[in-house]
Chain A
Amino acid sequence: MKLQISTSLALYSVLEFAAKSEHQISAADIAAKYRVSPHHLAKVLRELVRAGFIESTRGVGGGYRFSGNAKRLTLMDVIELFEDIGDRKERNHQPGASTDVGRALGVVLAEIDEIAKATFRSITVGTMLKLIERRGPGPDERTRAASKRASRG
């Protein structure tokens, strides 16, 4: 299962904003943390604002803030803004899709897509935040914390 880059960026951003829902976070901070193009991220954030999942504030200290309901907003709500998991039309246009083998393979792939969609629909932003907390900091966070400690002292 692989998500498009825009979709992953949208999920990272929504979860970052939701984790610090009291604060505004700049797009530059997100872009730096995930090492992505600020230009690409800006496009993704515009879409999230349009969907009402985050809001932007302008001026000094401006940035973005989570404006969704973490207990209700699911990963699927975010994903489907950017891509259609299991797009049948696209699959049907692939070479060999209308052969007997292609059609049988299509049944198996559709089954996998349905499981993926059900999983994304069942996980809310709130549940993801609990999962992130349970798993603790990743290697990137640990490295950042270590270099911060080193620069202090």
Chain B
Amino acid sequence: MKQLTRLGADLRVRPAEAADLGQIIAIDFEITRKRKTDYWYELFHRYGSGRGRQRQFLVAEAGGEIQGFIIGEVRDWEFGSPPCGWVFGISVRPGARLAGVGSRLFESICAGFRHAGVDKVRTLIARDNSLVLSYFRSQGMMAAPVIPLEKDLD
């Protein structure tokens, strides 16, 4: 518990830099067990290093290490909805959880969205992903007035 408290004390959230990609890929691999190097480089190219107010790729750093990251963007009139912030990626190093890293990342991206002029944030989570669903719920998120639909293409 001591380690977690210390982590919270010197935690800093900032825009992701190219030099962070190695740690970001490692965190993602630790959680998903899938190595997606090209995907992360492509994502960084589109969202990294302060690409304007609309797109955000943030990392949480403590003790000289990346502890987690969050990615999102403002989407205008998607599905007929007024511009709002969308979070489509978040990960926290398993050893750094329950220390406020996820909350700091979420607060920071929301601040960025507010700065971009929107007053709502949304995300989309697999129904069986209870861990991430619980995390977003604990941040005060509620069910949105949209229903995702899908169909098998045979």
Could you tell me which A residues sit within 8 Å of B by CB distance?
71, 74, 114-115, 118-119, 121-124, 126-127, 130-131, 134
Rounded to whole angstroms, the CA-CA distance of A35 and B59 in the bound complex is 50
Max chain A Cβ within 10 angstroms of own Cβ: one of B98, B130, B140: B130
Q: Is B152 interfacial (CB 8 A cutoff)?
A: no
A72: nearest chain-B partner, CB-CB: B134
Inter-chain contact A134/B127, CB cutoff 8 Å: no
For chain B, residues 6 to 41, give those with C-beta under 8 angstroms from any C-beta of chain A.
none
CB distance from A70 to the nearest CB of B (A): 11
Partner of A124, one of B98, B127, B137, B140: B137
B122-152 vs A, Cβ < 8 Å mask (1 yes, 0 no): 0000011010011011101001000000000
Query: Chain B binding site: helix, strand, loop or mixed by DSSP?
Result: helix
Residues of B within 8 A of A119 (CB): 143
B-side interface residues, number (CB < 8 Å): 11
Inter-chain contact B140/A130, CB cutoff 8 Å: yes
Inter-chain contact A122/B128, CB cutoff 8 Å: no
Given contacts A119-B143, A134-B140, contact A74 B127 (CB under 8 A): no
Rounded to whole angstroms, the CA-CA distance of A103 and B127 in the bound complex is 23
Partner of B130, one of A122, A126, A130, A131: A122
Residues of A within 8 A of B136 (CB): 122
Inter-chain contact A122/B140, CB cutoff 8 Å: no
Residues of B within 8 A of A71 (CB): 98, 138
Rounded to whole angstroms, the CA-CA distance of A114 and B127 in the bound complex is 8
Residues of A within 8 A of B128 (CB): 118
B143: nearest chain-A partner, CB-CB: A119
Inter-chain contact B134/A130, CB cutoff 8 Å: no
Residues of A within 8 A of B138 (CB): 71, 124, 126-127, 130
A-B CB contact pairs (8 Å), 9 listed: A74-B130, A118-B128, A122-B134, A123-B137, A124-B138, A126-B138, A127-B138, A130-B138, A134-B140
B135: nearest chain-A partner, CB-CB: A122
Residues of B within 8 A of A114 (CB): 127
Inter-chain contact B127/A118, CB cutoff 8 Å: yes
Residues of A within 8 A of B130 (CB): 74, 118, 121-122
Residues of A within 8 A of B137 (CB): 122-124, 127
